[in-house]
Structure 1
Amino acid sequence: MPVPLATYRVQLHAEFGFEAAAAIADYLSALGVSHLYASPYLQANQGSTHGYDILDHSRVSEEIGGAEAHAKLCETLGRNRLGQILDVVPNHMSISSRDNVWWWDVLENGQSSLYAHYFDVDWQPPEQKLHDTVLLPILGDHYGRIVDAGEIKLQHNNGSFTFHYHDHVMPVAPRSLNELLERAARRCDSPDLAFIADSFANLPHSTATDGPSVTRRHRDKEVLRKQLSRLCAENPAIASAIDSLVEEINVSPNEIDLLLDRQNYRLAYWRSAGQELDYRRFFDINTLVSMRIEDERVFHDMHVLVLKWVRQGVLDGLRVDHPDGLRDPAQYFQRLKQAVPHGWIVVEKILEPGETLPQDWPVAGTTGYDFLNRLGSLLIDQEGEGPISEFYSRFTGVSTDYLAMVHQKKHFVLKKLFGSDINRLTFLLAKVCERQKRYRDYSRRELDAMLREVIACFPVYRSYVRAEAGQVSDRDTLYVTEAIESAKRHRPEIDEDLLDFLRDLLLLRVRGTLESELVMRFQQHTGPVMAKGIEDTVFYNYNRLVALNEVGGDPGRFGLALDQFHADCRETQEHWSQSMIATTTHDTKRSEDVRARISLLAEIPDRWAEAVERWARHNEPYKTGGFPDRNIEYLLYQTLVGAWPIDTARTLQYVQKVAREAKAYTSWTDPDPDYEEALRSFVVALLADPWFVADLNGFLTPLIEPGRINSLAQVLIKLTAPGVPDIYQGNELWDLSLVDPDNRRPVDYETRRRLLDVLQTATAEEVLARSDEGLPKMWVTKQALALRKRLPVNFGPEGEYRPILAEGPRADHVVAFARGHGCVVVAPRLPLRLGGRWENTTLPLPDGEWYNELTGDLVPGGSTPLATLLKRFPVALLSSAEH
């Protein structure tokens, strides 16, 4: 099974389904990619725009086109010599619809469900009132108020009963029907109905989990349901008696309450999820429940179609979403690799700077965030850190102490979003401490405080201790120890002995069944806190230079030195040469071209500060009561510089999202209408202000071309660096999109087809003349992909990455490297400071004659002036003339 030459990511949904993807197969083939890389397309929620909310793993999405359209897509891809990579979601499923038949069965049958062990539900949580039930936090107000208002209704349909609350539908537990049916039987004097009522009452209880009881319950309840349906159809008087009783129950809050109290779930106010939820979620999303994928049966049933497609050659590989949510990622990947040994597997693992993938994961690598951040940082002028930092603090009043903000915001989300998760973890730790005479006297409150602090101090997304296997790696020891020592510094009032005990637990120095469970649970909680605290909070508050604010990045580190970038690339070539590398994804906060332009601000900190001060003074009258605050105003100005031209509607959608994600004055759960109106009116006013728009354009005009040079350098390096490059839909041309949903707008493929045709005969000068259309970026993309296809060994595992260091006064302004003996890549960096003045800086090209794939020029080996090499085109891609 081939490793991709290059992938092209598409987001599938109702407006761009299998048929639309098939229609661009010939275009993608002509562009030069080898594989279509599709977002998840198993059956998801109706209207899903991303596919991560899967309801049914046994069928493809009907909304995207269904099985027939999927088959046609696969056939079309094959005809165009394209493979296919699919995004898979092993961590969670959506539970927002009855179409999830596994979850429906759990709600109906509780622990005796055939699928009870599929979901990560705690049937004995700390709260006694939730024992043997699943909390469903779906109500818009407190339970009693909703019931008293008559908003929950019981419905009967041909022998089947359901509860309805607006769009939510819940099953009725079979055993709970006995009283209703007994009353109906008395009214219509039906011994048959009375027999059915008694039989429902005699079903095995929902807490009976032994095999015979589960089998009998499921067999008998279905037989009884069919009998009841038949009885209602044959005897209208019986159906009428039941319907009459249902009507009476629906007008009696007490009767509705009594019947709901007998269910295997407990309906609750949606806000209660923050403190009492008894199932593990995907982050803080109540409608996405985590799966026990470590169970072999669950693994099989969730991969039944995907594995078949890989074995049949329909798919060449898989992109695995959110592996950090899994109980034992190593076990999962080993099982996956065993099932499809020749499949190309990459993982959406967010690596913090300096962190590497665990060695026991049999995967090709990550999905490329690590590369994205290294390359983006390379384009930022480190000399600009001082003035940029000073102005940011002075203008906004926000500290540039990044680590302090990370610590603060992780505590914030622990309190606001993850209370129920910490409660369960604390309960488990308390049970562990009860068995230790030295630690049994610590209160639940002390244990809770310690866990929160250690999680807030955890330096990476998670550790990967395998408690059942007794495996602790050196990296696990390093990160756990770092978290414990950091917690001691932050909270000296916490007993050091207790913290050391937690360290020993997490590193398996204290063993036991409960202890192992604590370790595995702890590891599943640090990642969500990291993601929500940093990606979805800090990255919208720490706005010093937002080009650095990307998933897996460290905005506290300002830029990257050239020698470090080369060292990282050599390491990738040696250890992860088949890893995916990316510059834009469906989850990036800003597109690659937006970041490339914003990065320029580090090269002109004084001019940037003057512009912001000028804009802030002019726009002050547009504020309402001093709002919006200076921090989001500063973010807005950076956004306008990066994404301009951008219309008011897109800007409004974006600023509302960033304000709610920042959670400083408003949020998704507690929106502040006054603050958001002040923000809205500010944006509308300044974008309608002719002076501001003219001044913004005046500031921006000198940045357009350097920003494009940054973009061309970025795309060329990505397409030739070690790894498998991915192109996010539409980004073969300039794309100034912001975070989703902005980056999921329709892509104009007709324009792209037309421009690709133009490239068949265009010269380098003609390409540059149409720069406003994005032709230079498509040209670099097409030519680099063609060279990869022509010289696969140079770019594969057997290839070589060899830095080429320039000589002369501007040597730091060029990134150059050789791939094997047949390819040389040359790209400028920090173009504003360079100003096109190479000042006799030269590049020592390898011996021989070289052909510039972007200009058609022949270039001799040896010391070559960069001014000459980059005269006709901003970047250079050289191949050995003999090739």
Structure 2
Amino acid sequence: MRSTYRVQLRPGFGFAEAAAIVDYLAELGVGALYTSPILTPTPGSSHGYDVVDPSRANPELGGETGRRALVDRLRAAGLDMVVDIVPNHMSVEVPSANAWWWDVLAHGPGSRYARYFDIESFPVLLPVLGSDEDIDKVTVDGDVLRYYDHAFPLAPGTSDAPDALAQQHYRLIDWRRAGAELNYRRFFDVTTLAGVRVEDEEVFDATHGEVLRWVGEGDVQGLRVDHPDGLADPGGYARRLAERARCWIVVEKILEPGEELPRSWPVAGTTGYDALREVCGVFVDQGAEEAFTALADSLGVPTDFDAVRAECRRLITTTSLATEVRRIASHVSDVDPAAAREAVAELMVAFPVYRSYLPEGAEYLAAAIGRVRRERPDLGQALDAVDAQVRAGGELATRLQQTSGMVVAKGTEDTTFYRYTRFAALNEVGGDPSHFGVGVAEFHAAQAEREATHPLAMTALSTHDTKRSEDVRARMAVLAELPDEFADAVRRWTERRGLPEPCLNLLAWQTLLGAWPINPDRLAAYLDKAAKEAKVRTSWTEHDEEFEETVRAWPRAVLGDPGLLAEVEAFAARIAPHGWSNSLGQKLLQLAGPGVPDVYQGTELWDLSLVDPDNRRPVDFADRADLLSKLASGWPPPIDETGAVKLHVVRTVLRLRRERPALFTGYRPVYADGQAARHVVAFERTGLIAVATRLPVALREWGDTVLPLPDGEWVDQLTDRPTDGGVAAMLADYPVALLVRA
């Protein structure tokens, strides 16, 4: 696998539309088309992660005929295909669309599919009612129960029974009760996605048969595994999948800084959030941390990351994931149930990584237990019982490991990252906002480690799950070079038009500059989601309508204030060129560095998208194809608003990866000498050197800065100019260079 290009398939952009851009991708130099899930999802799904039928290709994308036509087009162009798969869960939002779930509801534990789903007990609780009193609105209609647009099967022979509801293998309950009472495993706190037991070989075969057929017939050359941390035995799953598929496999595994993928997993690596943290972080000025902390403190934004994270994780254990904590605690024997629940919850709070994979990762469990012992000695007896039973293996150990990742993800990514808004460029999946940027030496060490251990792991800068695109982060990184000016502006703007919740207020000003220009509707939608994820003044389940209206009105108020708008425009105009420099540097380091680089749809030009669904907007491929044709004619693109220069960098590196793959092996840091040496980050592969500018605001001139080059004649592939290592001449046109020995 050389490189991938991720597309988000959906009704309206299906197999035929993907086939129509294959020639463009081939011209760009892409190695493989990498798609969102393509098995049949809930009708109308816009993302495909809500599969209801794993036995056939999504008919709304073009079905099997469309899939095969796409494969034929890819083969003709010499491109591979990588498919995203979802082993952890299936959608049960529309029961009639999922034949397996429908059968379970109709026949209960007697259904042949009851073992397919991770159901704790019957009757299954279905949280669909507006309130428990709404049970009076449920009616019998032939052989189904109806509640507004919802339909559920009746157990055979119960349609005429006076107590039909009581005779079903499920109970309809108030949706608010799900967090504390649900009795089936789900995807995080999404009740419409029910956990599947792929550790059972029959279930594995039923859910993977069609995808494995595609692989076996040569239609698919790679698999991306969604959310392996939700599985009972991720390592066992990886080994079974690798044995059956025998293709390139990467897993969506979030690694905390310093954490390694379990060595026993026979996969190429992760989907690249670890690389994202390293590559983006090296463009952040670490010296700005004190100034950003002072700004946050002055605005009332919390700056103790560990304290905020613990508070947010604890909130999750007592609200949206309380039922999972209860379920684990129910397996702890000989301990007061309340103490068992609290001990389990505190372990979730203290976990240093997403989850362990016992016996691998036992040190992480030990660290969490040790921390709880120190901080909560009153839980000693309950903690001893949990520790002993986890080490013995079995149900409790499995549930604890499955749930820790859920608590970490919901508590950190989806709550803390919206409260701890000191410097939002660092608040990314797989990131550590308390670690202010990445030093050059740390960056090089991480790349060398990847080349040594997982040279075919995926690397990414933007994905469908990132909180903001790579170019937004690149521009926000510029703020770290202007901390005092940014702080003065934010204090001034806040006094004039500040939001009444400090965390959201600081996030809003950073977002406005990072994504500028942005229309008020997009910004309002983002801030509404951010406010609800933060769960400070409002949330998805407990709404503060007055506050939400204030948030929705804020973008128009700011953009409608001529004096404030002029200041924002001027600040954005000042940082934009430096943001472009950072963007090009990030992209070059990712594409030329160790691993298999992924380009997320549309990001070959400037892309200032925010969190989903904003980052799933349609892409103008016709515009990109036109610019690509100009580049093919030899046009040297300027650095301007079009983003053509980024396309030039992407095209140059990807085509070189395709035509001369031997260049992209090995790894050695290269350090510049001279007055501006700290502004260079560079590395050598095998006959190739990538050079990028960092901290561009403080760069006055290159002067005598030189990059020591190995013997030979080196030519920059972006300008076709030879270089002797003098950085001023090398980076005269662009802030990046890709040198190849002639």
Q: State the 4+ residue runs in structure 1 displaced beyond 6 angstroms.
A: none
Tell me the secondary structure at the aligned position of residue 727 of structure 1.
Answer: strand
Partner of 1:447: 340
Q: How big is each residue's C-alpha offset from its partner over 1:509-568, in whole Å with a ceiling of 9 and x where there is no partner?
A: xx3xxx511111111110110111011101111101101000010001001110111011
Trace 1:176-325 onto structure 2 (pairs within 5 A): 176-177=158-159, 180=161, 255=162, 258-325=163-230
Trace 1:207-606 onto structure 2 (pairs within 5 A): 255=162, 258-341=163-246, 343-395=247-299, 397-429=300-332, 433=333, 440=334, 442-465=335-358, 472-473=359-360, 476-495=361-380, 497-506=381-390, 508=391, 511=392, 516-606=394-484
- Distance in 2 (CA, whole Å) between partners of 1:9 and 1:302 is 23
The amino acid of 2:649's aligned partner reads V
Matched, 1:696 2:560: no
Q: How big is each residue's C-alpha offset from its partner over 1:817-840, in whole Å with a ceiling of 9 and x where there is no partner?
A: 1111x11111011111224x2231
Give the Å deviation of 1:865: 2.1
The amino acid of 1:376's aligned partner reads C
Matched, 1:70 2:70: no
Give the Å deviation of 1:408: 0.6
Matched, 1:777 2:638: no
Tell me the secondary structure at the aligned position of residue 308 of structure 1.
Answer: helix
- Distance in 1 (CA, whole Å) between partners of 2:702 and 2:302 is 37
Identity, in percent, stands at: 46
Partner of 2:633: 761
Give 2:697's match in structure 1, choosing from 832, 835, 850.
832
- Distance in 1 (CA, whole Å) between partners of 2:437 and 2:69 is 46
Partner of 1:189: none
Q: How big is each residue's C-alpha offset from its partner over 1:183-226, in whole Å with a ceiling of 9 and x where there is no partner?
A: xxxxxxxxxxxxxxxxxxxxxxxxxxxxxxxxxxxxxxxxxxxx
**Kept after mapping to 1: 8 A contact 2:450/2:595:** yes
Partner of 1:791: 660
- Distance in 1 (CA, whole Å) between partners of 2:38 and 2:118 is 23
Q: How big is each residue's C-alpha offset from its partner over 1:118-170, in whole Å with a ceiling of 9 and x where there is no partner?
A: 000012xxxxxxxx31111111111xx2233xx212112xxxx1111112111
Tell me the secondary structure at the aligned position of residue 708 of structure 2.
Answer: strand
**Kept after mapping to 2: 8 A contact 1:119/1:290:** yes
Matched, 1:807 2:673: yes
- Distance in 1 (CA, whole Å) between partners of 2:448 and 2:301 is 38
- Pick the structure with greater CA Rg: 1
The amino acid of 1:842's aligned partner reads V
Tell me the secondary structure at the aligned position of residue 606 of structure 2.
Answer: coil
**Kept after mapping to 1: 8 A contact 2:525/2:552:** no
Give the Å deviation of 1:595: 0.3
Give the Å deviation of 1:809: 2.9
Give the Å deviation of 1:176: 2.4
Trace 1:598-617 onto structure 2 (pairs within 5 A): 598-617=476-495
Give the Å deviation of 1:763: 4.2
The amino acid of 1:399's aligned partner reads P
Give the Å deviation of 1:740: 0.6
- Distance in 1 (CA, whole Å) between partners of 2:505 and 2:304 is 20
Give 1:111's match in structure 2, choosing from 98, 109, 112.
109
**Kept after mapping to 2: 8 A contact 1:327/1:524:** yes
- Distance in 1 (CA, whole Å) between partners of 2:356 and 2:106 is 36
Give the Å deviation of 1:811: 1.7
Q: How big is each residue's C-alpha offset from its partner over 1:433-478, in whole Å with a ceiling of 9 and x where there is no partner?
A: 2xxxxxx3x311111111111111011110101xxxxxx23xx221
Give the Å deviation of 1:376: 1.1
Partner of 2:718: 854
Moved more, 416-425 or 288-297: 416-425
Trace 1:622-771 onto structure 2 (pairs within 5 A): 627-764=499-636, 767-768=637-638, 771=640
Partner of 1:186: none
The amino acid of 1:807's aligned partner reads D
Give the Å deviation of 1:691: 1.1
The amino acid of 1:662's aligned partner reads A
The amino acid of 1:154's aligned partner reads V
The amino acid of 1:674's aligned partner reads E
Tell me the secondary structure at the aligned position of residue 220 of structure 2.
Answer: coil
Matched, 1:155 2:155: no
Matched, 1:876 2:737: yes
- Distance in 2 (CA, whole Å) between partners of 1:588 and 1:681 is 25
Give the Å deviation of 1:499: 2.4
Trace 1:80-95 onto structure 2 (pairs within 5 A): 80-95=77-92
**Kept after mapping to 1: 8 A contact 2:135/2:172:** no
The amino acid of 2:668's aligned partner reads R
- Distance in 2 (CA, whole Å) between partners of 1:77 and 1:68 is 14
The amino acid of 2:267's aligned partner reads V
- Distance in 2 (CA, whole Å) between partners of 1:456 and 1:834 is 43
The amino acid of 1:10's aligned partner reads V
- Distance in 1 (CA, whole Å) between partners of 2:10 and 2:558 is 35
Give the Å deviation of 1:401: 1.0
RMSD: 1.2
Give the Å deviation of 1:501: 4.0
Give the Å deviation of 1:730: 0.3
Q: TM-score, normalised by structure 2?
A: 0.98
Q: How big is each residue's C-alpha offset from its partner over 1:477-496, in whole Å with a ceiling of 9 and x where there is no partner?
A: 2111110111123323222x
**Kept after mapping to 2: 8 A contact 1:763/1:855:** no
**Kept after mapping to 2: 8 A contact 1:825/1:878:** yes
Tell me the secondary structure at the aligned position of residue 709 of structure 2.
Answer: strand
**Kept after mapping to 1: 8 A contact 2:693/2:736:** yes
The amino acid of 2:469's aligned partner reads S
- Distance in 2 (CA, whole Å) between partners of 1:872 and 1:112 is 71
- Distance in 1 (CA, whole Å) between partners of 2:155 and 2:734 is 71
**Kept after mapping to 2: 8 A contact 1:138/1:269:** yes
Q: How big is each residue's C-alpha offset from its partner over 1:234-266, in whole Å with a ceiling of 9 and x where there is no partner?
A: xxxxxxxxxxxxxxxxxxxxx4xx110001111
Q: TM-score, normalised by structure 1?
A: 0.83
Q: How big is each residue's C-alpha offset from its partner over 1:39-93, in whole Å with a ceiling of 9 and x where there is no partner?
A: 0011101121110000000111111121111111111111111110000000000
Partner of 2:123: 133
**Kept after mapping to 2: 8 A contact 1:628/1:682:** no
Tell me the secondary structure at the aligned position of residue 665 of structure 1.
Answer: coil
Give the Å deviation of 1:503: 2.7
Partner of 1:619: 497
Give the Å deviation of 1:680: 1.8
The amino acid of 2:367's aligned partner reads E
Tell me the secondary structure at the aligned position of residue 486 of structure 1.
Answer: helix
Give the Å deviation of 1:790: 2.3
Give the Å deviation of 1:794: 2.6
